[in-house]
Structure 1
Amino acid sequence: MDGLQKNNILKKMTQKLQLQCAGRGSGLSATVVALMVKSVLSDPKNSFNADEALTEEDIQKLEELCLNKLTERCSPSLDTIKMQEYFGLSYTSRFQLLKEIQGAMESRMSPLMTEITDSRLKTRDAFDALYCKIVSYILQRSSVSSPADADSVNQAKAALQSVLPPAELAAFMALLKEDKEQQLDELTRIVAGICLFNKASVNEKCLHETFPVSFEGIENELSASRRLVGKYTTLLEELLQPDSRRVGRDVPVDLLKQALYNARQHEAFLKILLSNAHLCASCMGDLQMKLSAQTNLLKESVKAKRAVHSAKVFPLFKALADLWCGLQEEAELLKVLHTIMLNLQPFTVAQAELFPAEYLDGLLEGSEVKTDQDRLSQPSDGQINLAEMTTCEWLPPETDASISDLSLQFNGFCGYTFVCRDGLLLPGNPKLGVLKHEGKFYAFSSREAALEFASRPDDFIAEVEERAKGSPELLHLFRLQQRDFSFEMCPKENSRVKPITKCESGTQTDVHPVETNVVRTYEWNAWELRRKAIKLANLLTKATHSTQTHASSMRRENATQVWLPKDAASQCKRDAGSNVPRPQVYLTGLRGQRDAQVVKIDLTRAVDE
């Protein structure tokens, strides 16, 4: 069985499993089912050989294992995979999210804009109705006020009349559709700026209170997730110790590890959302300051003046509307992040049902729960000597200030602890230093873990990847397989790249790498260019004739001075030559008797003839 046949079998199996899961009430996507099939097939515990062909028994066994895992009730592992898929489909970069928000606004306003631009006006009532539609479009597009508020509609209508009087509506409708759309956008910005300025003149605080900056929900959710991670980690640390006092108690360790992985993934996603929320709050603060400054500038421009030229204030109104639109988009992005946070909560229900808070507190009675912050703030048990690292490069924390911004393997978790403590996840501490192996960076939870990992790095890396095959959710949590659920990290996380290596280098370049080209006909004087332009323009009106016409007698007298040719003589060399006589020979007696004698006669003329 070649690779193509095997892929076809797995593809058909994925479709079949998806239908079977739907029949049992578990609606799963093809991506989740395919990932589960790959995970079960590559798990060493299931004894499938990836290099050999799949028999009928293997296919049946694979289907049963996958179906049991996919339809399992209260499975934190399956919930983690669903969470990863949802986040990969819902979250993208900040730029893309803002672009989607703008596209959603344009799609929502597109029917009303089309209705305005495609209108055919014949009666006075139709003109009035169209004018009201333009006012409604401006209010909905700018979100300055509600179109249902009569006072807001009257204020917007009065502002629009100062920019586009009803008498000029016919000229507006005579424009092309593209020009009408552009003009409508200009009207929206100007009228929205006027309405915002009027609001700020009455109460400036109302503009800032419209979009409250709040991300406490994400912070509270992250704090709860971190506390839960600390409880799971502390309990697993005690259960996985050989001399644990809880060995005799009936605690499902495998489910506890799945719950820990679920909480860790939830925490990682919440960190991304919170980082974006902080960036949104910062941008909204800057925009609000600019909005206040722009409002004050407008107040100074129109202060104690009966009339102000439109060319002076209209750009200020449009700038005010642009700032308001930026605030609106940032607030909408904050809502999107909060919605994603709320939609992540159902994926943590399984581990919450398996391990309720009372049950966990009872298991942890008498134990000190440590969070990641507590572990990282503990004093280290001695710095690592560079002489002890013989096979790998060790980067002490004092050598590079940006060592905490490196992109760490296994998502920053300690690979040695994961292998030697049977799947326990402990965060690596970059303050101890970072190990560099084959261009990749690894952090560890303790000094001993770093030394042991450095003695056999390839073996530990292979063991981490092998153990992760048994838990498919770890492939994404450790960033070992990013092609299944790919998403862009937040700006802070995405900036963690390899540090720039500095070295002494030199480069030699030519003084003039491009050949100089001097244009002799170049003119810098504008008046000379004008003179040439007039000359060329005059030539267009001229006409030439090759024959005499009736108007030839009307030509004016003119005179021309020339230099007459002078007599001159020259002596040249004379060439002469003659031909040499061509040799001619006549032979007789060539035909006839065999005994005939051949006679040769020379007929060549003499040279002196």
Structure 2
Amino acid sequence: MEDNLKRIVAETTRLCRERGQKVDPFVAAYVASLEDARGSLDVPGVRLDSKLSAESVAAIGKQIAGILLRGADPRLKTAMMQVLMEAAYKQQRELVEKETTEQQERAGMLQRAITGPRALKGNSADAYDRFYKLVLEAVCVEAGMEAAVQDQAANAEVRAALESVFPVSGVARFLTLSEAERLAQLSELARIATGICLYNRSLGQGGAALPAAAASYLPQAHRLLRDINRCCSDVSEQLVRLHAMVSQLPPPPAADDKETAAASAAAGEEERRRALLHAEVLNRGQALQLYESLKADLQEGLDAAQQLDTELEHTILQVHDAVGGSSAVGKEVVYPLFDRLGALHTGLHQELRMLVVRQRLYDELSGLSALPPNSVLLPSTPSSTESGASKRSTAVGTSTAADALAEQLSETTLAGLDALENGSRAASGDGAADAGGSGGLEYIRPTSPSQLQPGLALAGFCAGTLARRPTGRYPLLRRANPRLGYLAYQDKVYGFATNADMQAFLADPAGCLAEVDGAVRREPLLARPLGLPPPRTTADVHAVLQAMSGTLKVDFGCQTPVHFLERNMDKDYEWNVWALRRRALALANLRDKATHSAQTAESHFKRENETQVWRPRDATVQTRVSKGQSMPRKLQYVAGLRGAPDVKMNVVRLELELGQPHQH
């Protein structure tokens, strides 16, 4: 089966990729297993647990790809919800197991280092200090206080708590113990040190090494519980609306009715709508079952966490009373309390981790349980919203009135129940209680008019409605009515939606359950919401996930033309890769080269050198008037140095005004 599933999923993935559709391998494998359980494979006489030929794999892969491409199909959405939620559960479980395994491996490695024959290396003070640090790390890891390994402040806090119980001077005596005794002492030290840290945190001193307290997780868990309750109410309301729509459908025509072509087409359209409504009922029923299962799991974990937290707070109060204002208290008084605190904290921490896991599962379920895109519950157009709302209100009102009448047990049913209570096998007039088929039946009176009794068979869905199929050939999921009470049969308790359903089960419980099994064989998707085993082992979700856990290989290829017709021809195109390599190497070598030249006297005259210059331009400017101006020239000389005897010497000063404007 595993090899066949992988081959089919590989072929389906290839076909969907060619159409641009991304598919989940788990979904493809689960859809193939469901089609095999229905006997609806396109290859007749072929099963997944037998050897398949390549042609069969190709045909089945094409069929599954066609189903997966119908993304709005409610049945496909239901299958996705079932397999992907189970995959999410498996993933979260593996993550928790991985974290736990890593912590245990690390703690085991430290324990072996401490309890080994050569744990203490040397006899010096440094050797004892290193050994004590190793014990401290082992205590932190085993107690879940990994933050104290890296954080200095948290490490100092845990060390102070450990030294109050196990001082460094006690290492020598600790080494004289056997390996089993050392392991027991380590576990006890981890619990007591954790209890001391919890007590210090209650006093407002320290607590940095401890994980977050329950007070930070529980409000989030209560908010998650409210969200799940709201989702359960919304899905239940959607189921009521769908049941009202189903009840408005006309009864299916008899097999021997002669119809015209128009009537046959109308009947075909009505049959498609009937199938769509029943598929959406199945989708909403699966969503409701998953929400209720998650709600019960969360409620159980929340109750356990609250109980552990309450007991933890009570133990802390006991420690406060024991310590009081005393400066010294005997260890035989407080050590058991600290040990109890550490054990309670470990259990509470595990429960709080699971609350985080349930939050992730709720986020996953919220996305998977959304209504299909073309659901009849979604408003199609604004104009049709009001008319659709009025029709829905009328249908819901009619269905509510019918349910109110059905909630009242008839005289025949009451007589049959009285006969059961009295231990009588007498049958009523219309066969409400069959002496041969009602053996082992027991009536259980309702304890709450609004809440179903926990632990009901078929996950609280009505067995009578599934067996009677009052709306046609499609099985209908309907929640049991808590006001009618319950019937216990073969160590299981069944609930019923209407008086007619309880009458049918009273008449023949074994026949009703056989009809339920037949409905599951015809529609394997019913097995998960009803809590029943699948009709075939190949349709089991766990088997599908196990088969698809390995590596999946997909053959994928593309086609190209042999000769490309290209208009833009590149003349320099080189097809030979080795020639391209040679060209690349040559270009790479050029980057390291340089051009050098030298000039000599002989080469200078052999060169043809030319120089071009611009000659100065001759330019004159002529004006109408030429004017000039100069400063007067001052001259001074001595006269009378020569000449007649009567000539006297004197100094002559002259100012020559030559070239002045007035002289022109």
* Preserved contact between residue 40 and residue 66 of structure 1 (Cα < 8 Å): no
The one-letter code sitting in structure 2 at the alignment partner of 1:35 is S
Give yes or no for the alignment of 1:330 onto 2:351: yes
Give yes or no for the alignment of 1:14 onto 2:5: yes
State the Cα deviation string for residues 265-305 of structure 1 (Å, max 9, x = none). 22212212222222222222322332222222222322333
**Counterpart pick for 2:218 among 212, 217, 221:** 212
CA distance 1:356–1:138, shift in 2 (3 Å): farther
* Preserved contact between residue 464 and residue 504 of structure 2 (Cα < 8 Å): no
Structure 1 unmatched runs, 5+? 1-9, 488-609
Rounded Cα–Cα distance in structure 1 between residues aligned with 2:305 and 2:155: 27
Rounded Cα–Cα distance in structure 2 between residues aligned with 1:353 and 1:126: 73
Rounded Cα–Cα distance in structure 2 between residues aligned with 1:281 and 1:399: 26
* Preserved contact between residue 120 and residue 128 of structure 2 (Cα < 8 Å): no
* Preserved contact between residue 75 and residue 279 of structure 2 (Cα < 8 Å): yes
**Counterpart pick for 1:416 among 454, 457, 465:** 465
What is aligned with 2:136?
135
What is aligned with 2:563?
none
- Normalising by the residue count of structure 1, what TM-score does the alignment of the two structures yield? 0.62
CA distance 1:153–1:409, shift in 2 (3 Å): closer
What is aligned with 1:273?
294
The one-letter code sitting in structure 2 at the alignment partner of 1:165 is P
Rounded Cα–Cα distance in structure 2 between residues aligned with 1:348 and 1:290: 38
**Counterpart pick for 1:65 among 63, 66, 82:** 63
Larger radius of gyration: 2
Q: Report the CA distance between 1:471 and its aligned residue.
A: 3.3
Q: Report the CA distance between 1:330 and its aligned residue.
A: 1.8
What is aligned with 2:389?
365
State the Cα deviation string for residues 30-86 of structure 1 (Å, max 9, x = none). 96256324324169x998699xx9999988765543443356434443443344345
The one-letter code sitting in structure 2 at the alignment partner of 1:286 is Q
CA distance 1:228–1:108, shift in 2 (3 Å): farther
* Preserved contact between residue 113 and residue 181 of structure 1 (Cα < 8 Å): yes
Give yes or no for the alignment of 1:474 onto 2:530: no
Q: Report the CA distance between 1:486 and its aligned residue.
A: 7.0
Give yes or no for the alignment of 1:162 onto 2:164: yes
Q: Report the CA distance between 1:17 and its aligned residue.
A: 0.9
CA distance 1:13–1:100, shift in 2 (3 Å): closer
- Within a 5 Å distance, the mapping from 1:294-313 to structure 2 comes to 294-313=315-334
Rounded Cα–Cα distance in structure 1 between residues aligned with 2:489 and 2:147: 60
- Within a 5 Å distance, the mapping from 1:161-560 to structure 2 comes to 161-169=163-171, 171-172=173-174, 177-202=179-204, 209=215, 211-213=217-219, 214-239=221-246, 241-242=248-249, 254-349=275-370, 351=372, 357-359=378-380, 362=385, 364-366=388-390, 367-368=392-393, 378=404, 380-383=407-410, 384=413, 385-386=415-416, 387=428, 388=430, 389-391=432-434, 392-393=437-438, 395-398=442-445, 404=453, 407-409=456-458, 411-416=460-465, 419-421=469-471, 422-434=474-486, 442-451=494-503, 463-482=515-534, 484-485=540-541
The one-letter code sitting in structure 2 at the alignment partner of 1:135 is L
**SS across alignment from 1:212:** helix
* Preserved contact between residue 411 and residue 479 of structure 1 (Cα < 8 Å): no
Structure 2 unmatched runs, 5+? 17-21, 252-265, 417-427, 544-664
* Preserved contact between residue 40 and residue 470 of structure 1 (Cα < 8 Å): yes
**Counterpart pick for 1:35 among 22, 33, 36:** 33
CA distance 1:416–1:168, shift in 2 (3 Å): closer
* Preserved contact between residue 397 and residue 403 of structure 1 (Cα < 8 Å): no
Q: Report the CA distance between 1:250 and its aligned residue.
A: 13
What is aligned with 1:7?
none
The one-letter code sitting in structure 1 at the alignment partner of 2:136 is V
State the Cα deviation string for residues 396-428 of structure 1 (Å, max 9, x = none). 554999994574347522543672224432212
Rounded Cα–Cα distance in structure 2 between residues aligned with 1:435 and 1:228: 26
State the Cα deviation string for residues 464-509 of structure 1 (Å, max 9, x = none). 444444533112223342562479xxxxxxxxxxxxxxxxxxxxxx
CA distance 1:229–1:295, shift in 2 (3 Å): closer
What is aligned with 2:608?
none
* Preserved contact between residue 298 and residue 316 of structure 1 (Cα < 8 Å): yes
The one-letter code sitting in structure 2 at the alignment partner of 1:289 is T
Rounded Cα–Cα distance in structure 2 between residues aligned with 1:194 and 1:98: 27
Rounded Cα–Cα distance in structure 2 between residues aligned with 1:207 and 1:189: 17
State the Cα deviation string for residues 110-142 of structure 1 (Å, max 9, x = none). 455456556663475565455445434434443
**SS across alignment from 1:312:** helix
Q: Percent identity?
A: 18
Rounded Cα–Cα distance in structure 2 between residues aligned with 1:294 and 1:199: 14
RMSD: 4.9
The one-letter code sitting in structure 2 at the alignment partner of 1:39 is A
CA distance 1:107–1:449, shift in 2 (3 Å): same
What is aligned with 1:146?
147
CA distance 1:433–1:306, shift in 2 (3 Å): closer
Give yes or no for the alignment of 1:26 onto 2:38: no
* Preserved contact between residue 90 and residue 340 of structure 1 (Cα < 8 Å): yes
Rounded Cα–Cα distance in structure 1 between residues aligned with 2:302 and 2:446: 34
Rounded Cα–Cα distance in structure 2 between residues aligned with 1:211 and 1:115: 36
Q: Report the CA distance between 1:318 and its aligned residue.
A: 0.8
**SS across alignment from 1:474:** helix
- Normalising by the residue count of structure 2, what TM-score does the alignment of the two structures yield? 0.58
What is aligned with 1:588?
none
Rounded Cα–Cα distance in structure 1 between residues aligned with 2:350 and 2:140: 16
Rounded Cα–Cα distance in structure 1 between residues aligned with 2:389 and 2:7: 47
